[in-house]
Structure 1
Amino acid sequence: MSAVQNPVEETIVLPQPQRLSLLKGPTDPPLVDLTLGELLNLQCLHHGHREGIVIPWTGARWTYNELNHRSRLLAAALLEMGIGVGDRVGIMAGNCEQYAAVFFAATRIGAILVIMNNTYTPTEAMYGLDFSECKVFFTTKKIGRLDQGPLLTQLAARATGPKVVILRGDSEGYSTYKELLAQGSKVDPERLHYAESKVLPHLVCNLQFTSGTTGLPKAAMLTHHNIVNNSRFIGDRMRLTHNDVLCCPPPLFHCFGLVLGLMAVITHGGKIIYPAEVFDAPATLRTIIDEQCTAVHGVPAMFDSLLALPEAKNLKAADLRLRTGIVAGAPVPRYLMELMVSKLGMSEFTSSYGLTEASPTCFNAFTDDPIDTRLTTVGTLMPHARAKIVDRDGQIVPIGTRGELCIGGYQLQAGYWNNSEKTNDCMMKDEAGVLWLHTGDEAVFDERGYCTITGRFKDIIIRGGENIYPLEIEERLVAHPSISMAVVVGLKDAHYGEVVGAFLQLDPGHTASTKPAVEEVREWCRRKLGKHKAPTHVFWLGHDGVPATVPLTGSGKVRKFEMAQLGNKLLEGAKAKI
């Protein structure tokens, strides 16, 4: 596939006379109709003997042909197991070469890969597997320091459920990735060819879980068409070519690592390197240096950790090959941007905005946009996309006015898996019949069509690029016998951008002397939720200078914005006393 075609891009602001916040993305380059399997086959014709994926921590260095070959063997084995079009195949693992092979294997035969967050607790993982009715589940005994033993024990105790396949290491009686490769080699290639011929670009190929405000995660349905085209346009904005080497610390379970990472590179014939199973700052820096990387992705917290390393003090941009990369997930502080340019040489870094339901990237800066533009905006609209900003009544607002960002175009999800109610809540047609995704994010467009994200209509907490929804944490907290009410908000944090803050009301049957310690509250959350959802800051209503009541709206809803302001004020006061 061709690499850079962005010079013809020109975002159109519609309509001109009224200057409303309505944008239409460029129509060049054109959309392509390819499945993921067809894409990889095509890239092998052009780049087959080039290295495509490198995993330093496992020692893997696969060419495009090797990735294609292994994915075909796995696909054949899945066919032999009875997996076909529309069947769900789950995966929960760290960044590794096997992950990429499973992704292409499942999707090339029309199966739907169900991607699980590798920080899920057994309860969360079991919900995801049951909800999507996975028939096969790829995982490992450990993911970084996370022990998967409890999850595997729960799966083994059930009479029904997915067939477990261990990707690496000790299998303890489970089927293994290597065994599937061997099985696949015995399957008639014509059978695989026939199965691939039945797969169409607009079929759903991926379920991406995104936390829901109801406390239960929703699964966004993405198609081959969504992912292939969105990743092409991402690579174009970065000016990627077959000579580029991308260091990608973000996880493959997230669209950042999968679409902006793996797929953006595959569509441009480059090389991608996942430096560690889970984020590891020293390993990332070693990869950038040793592999002569030209690009690196990450959320601001990752770059913050990278540049805080002792060995980073002597870094000189002139000694590195880095030029670009995407920084997304949270606003980039100016000091961090300056270090990225001066220390890492990322003079062509780009800012970006997207969400899982939009496959994911909607806006992205160009590499030659002024640095201030890349620092204060998320760039311009991507090709073949539409965007508008509306007020709370759904009316399009004038340019320069804040409102809710809505996205339209080819990239929209097919909906939420088995959840038409939530699909209809956020995806609606306008009077002209155009389908729009209401993002819940607050934004503003300028006269040039650049977008700035100014806040959120919803109460999402973005911690280091990961979306966290307060309600599921609140529900867990009030299940504690000592807590009668919980209000969870995002609080400012220099490292993660935002962290979880919890305002708690002590149950009437308890006193200040018997209230649980902060660490007990955190551990209570960790038992059922991912560790990143445990509160960093805990405030008890009516104690230690915290007001005894919470501000309410006329309808009785908590004014969370005011609670977040209070939390940040309390933290500032605590710092001032130190």
Structure 2
Amino acid sequence: MRHIPTDLVTRYEREGWWTRDTIGDLLTRGLDAAPETEFRVHSTVRPWSGTFGDVELVARRLAGGLRARGVGPGDVVVFQLPNWMEAAAVFWASAFLGATVVPVVHFYGRKELGHILGETKPKVFVCAEKFGRSEFDADLCADVPIVGVVGRDFDELLDAEPMDGTVPTDPSGPALIAFTSGTTRAPKGVVHSHQTLGCETRQLADRYPPDRGKQLTAAPVGHFIGMVNAFLIPVLDGTAINLTDVWDPARALALMKSDGLTVGGGATYFVTSLLDHPEFTSGHIPFMKYAGLGGSSVPAAVTTRLAALGIIVFRAYGSTEHPSITVSYYTAPEEKRLFTDGEAAPGVEIRLADDGEILSRGPDLCLGYTDMTLNELAFDDEGWYHTGDIGVLDEDGYLTITDRKADIIIRGGENIGALEVEEILLGLPGVAEAAAVAAPDSRLGEHVAAVLRLKPGHTMPTMDEVREHFDRAGVAKQKWPEELHRIDDFPRTASGKIQKFVVRQDIATLD
């Protein structure tokens, strides 16, 4: 893992950011305190209703079954599931066992999932038999010793007797590996310890408004923040868990009225898709009192629109590597909440390099990557994380993101590596050169725009041809281009590299 300076370790322990609790310890105390708390899955294909105690029983039976099969601290458990009860059971069971859990977003395709399984070499893999475009592929997990398929044989992993307590494990050791797409061709594995994950969970819980109501979680639990918001924070707070496995604005609006559920933010798409829906009325505003936005670019047009409706907007900035770099609290001045990405979170330090790149370090910063070569590029000997983002600080210490050095597109909170998209585009007949860049999206923040330079005598592919090509490549649909543009030649640096920032700026003028 990356080098963490001794003085930082001492400080985080002295100031209470890092404790001796494991994630299993945190869950056990929270579940013991509120066993009757509601747990519901709002789904058309796999609805479920029960309590924390009901789900904990499944989790502890699963922990018992896995322990009997030799799973314990140091072993890796991968799950690729929608926002279902079984996802919570797998996560909680892994925590009780002291195993390292690897959540995978349910829409990742064969290519991404195959890379993750090869990178982590899990002892256990749990997935859905079928959900949406995803379907169980026995060949992909042929080398995994223990496989459970929800909808087929998952229950066979459950022991008759639930496992008591937690298996002792080192709180500074790996608790979670979260995969995020970046500038490389394959997702990057980000390793968090019990201490960094526990710190992040407490950080988020402490800054949420106490009167936020019963939250509906639509963000995928296979994503870092979706998982924390769904399966950790409610247990710490003793508040109800309400999940939906497909984001349907009409269903969310109906649940506000029928069940009193609230939507409290996330990526801008979740909020704007509600406001833009024809069934949205002023009667829904009381169920959208707050909007904590982050995970993708947050246009000022969106924050001011929400504020005009009386919704209290507050923003945050972070990443899977460093989840809470800056925050603006719901009590902060409106100008800061609407137009900046917040101030340094408690315990976190930020500074700007000479070129404006944001450097951060803090008790919720990850241990590093599964690919050790990436650690040397992202972390320095003083413990600073080089984010790849460019920003400015105002006189009050509030940060505003102005540009991005890293070559990624953030669509609805999901990172998409431009290089991976470009390599697939180059497989299209007649494509000489390709650039994938972020294009503004009023719902999702950004989406993929493909800019192509063609070989002489070739015609531009149609959008249908591009979609079929990406489908055959087996990548997640979120990575498919949603705009196509042709260019005679790209703007370039003196060394011939494509100037992506110029392409992004000029994309609206391309034919």
TM-score, length-scaled by structure 2: 0.90
Matched, 1:425 2:413: no
Match of 2:278 in 1: 310
Separation (CA, whole Å) in 2 of partners of 1:372 and 1:132 = 44
Separation (CA, whole Å) in 1 of partners of 2:62 and 2:415 = 32
Aligned residues: CA RMSD:
2.4
Separation (CA, whole Å) in 1 of partners of 2:65 and 2:235 = 24
Separation (CA, whole Å) in 1 of partners of 2:194 and 2:295 = 24
Cα pair 1:110 1:203 within 8 Å, conserved: no
Separation (CA, whole Å) in 2 of partners of 1:322 and 1:535 = 32
SS of 1:428's equivalent in the other structure is: coil
Structure 1 unmatched ranges of 5 or more: 1-23, 393-402, 542-547, 572-578
Matched, 1:455 2:407: no
SS of 2:368's equivalent in the other structure is: coil
SS of 2:452's equivalent in the other structure is: strand
Give the drift of 1:35: 1.2
Structure 1 pair 239–99 and aligned structure 2 pair: CA distance change class (3 A): same
Matched, 1:43 2:43: no
Q: Map residues 92-241 of structure 1 onto 2, 5 A cutoff.
A: 92-143=80-131, 145-148=132-135, 151-155=136-140, 158=142, 160-167=143-150, 169=151, 171=152, 175-176=153-154, 178-181=155-158, 184-186=159-161, 189=163, 193=165, 196-240=166-210
Of residues 454, 462, 467, the one that matches 1:517 is: 462
Structure 2 unmatched ranges of 5 or more: 1-10
User: Number of aligned pairs?
Assistant: 497
Residue type of the alignment partner of 1:420: M
Match of 1:558 in 2: 498
Separation (CA, whole Å) in 1 of partners of 2:107 and 2:222 = 10
Give the drift of 1:404: 0.9
Computing the radius of gyration from Cα coordinates, the structure with the larger value is: 1
Task: Kindly provide the CA deviation profile for residues 324-352 of structure 1, in whole angstroms up to 9, marking residues without a partner as x.
Answer: 34211234445543554565x633x4211
Task: Kindly provide the CA deviation profile for residues 105-142 of structure 1, in whole angstroms up to 9, marking residues without a partner as x.
Answer: 11221211112122211122112112211222111122
Of residues 405, 416, 423, the one that matches 2:358 is: 405
Task: Kindly provide the CA deviation profile for residues 289-324 of structure 1, in whole angstroms up to 9, marking residues without a partner as x.
Answer: 33323552331112121112222035353xx35433
Residue type of the alignment partner of 2:42: P
Structure 1 pair 199–333 and aligned structure 2 pair: CA distance change class (3 A): same
Separation (CA, whole Å) in 1 of partners of 2:507 and 2:304 = 29
Residue type of the alignment partner of 1:416: Y
Matched, 1:55 2:20: no
Structure 1 pair 30–495 and aligned structure 2 pair: CA distance change class (3 A): closer
Match of 1:527 in 2: 472
Task: Kindly provide the CA deviation profile for residues 6-57 of structure 1, in whole angstroms up to 9, marking residues without a partner as x.
Answer: xxxxxxxxxxxxxxxxxx99x9775443111111111134323232x32122
Separation (CA, whole Å) in 2 of partners of 1:537 and 1:237 = 38
Task: Kindly provide the CA deviation profile for residues 365-423 of structure 1, in whole angstroms up to 9, marking residues without a partner as x.
Answer: 1111123321111222222222111124xxxxxxxxxx111111221111111x11101
Of residues 274, 292, 297, the one that matches 1:326 is: 292
Q: Identity of aligned pairs, percent?
A: 30
Higher alpha-carbon deviation: 403-412 or 477-486 = 477-486
Separation (CA, whole Å) in 2 of partners of 1:126 and 1:453 = 34
Separation (CA, whole Å) in 2 of partners of 1:295 and 1:504 = 39
Cα pair 2:17 2:363 within 8 Å, conserved: no
Residue type of the alignment partner of 2:187: P
Give the drift of 1:103: 0.6
Task: Kindly provide the CA deviation profile for residues 502-525 of structure 1, in whole angstroms up to 9, marking residues without a partner as x.
Answer: 2222234x433xx43232123212
Cα pair 2:326 2:342 within 8 Å, conserved: yes
Cα pair 1:442 1:457 within 8 Å, conserved: yes
Post-superposition, which runs of at least 4 consecutive aligned residues in structure 1 deviate over 6 A?
none
Separation (CA, whole Å) in 1 of partners of 2:145 and 2:112 = 15
Separation (CA, whole Å) in 2 of partners of 1:198 and 1:255 = 24
Separation (CA, whole Å) in 1 of partners of 2:100 and 2:91 = 9
Cα pair 2:182 2:407 within 8 Å, conserved: no
Give the drift of 1:94: 0.8
Cα pair 2:96 2:167 within 8 Å, conserved: no
Matched, 1:246 2:215: yes
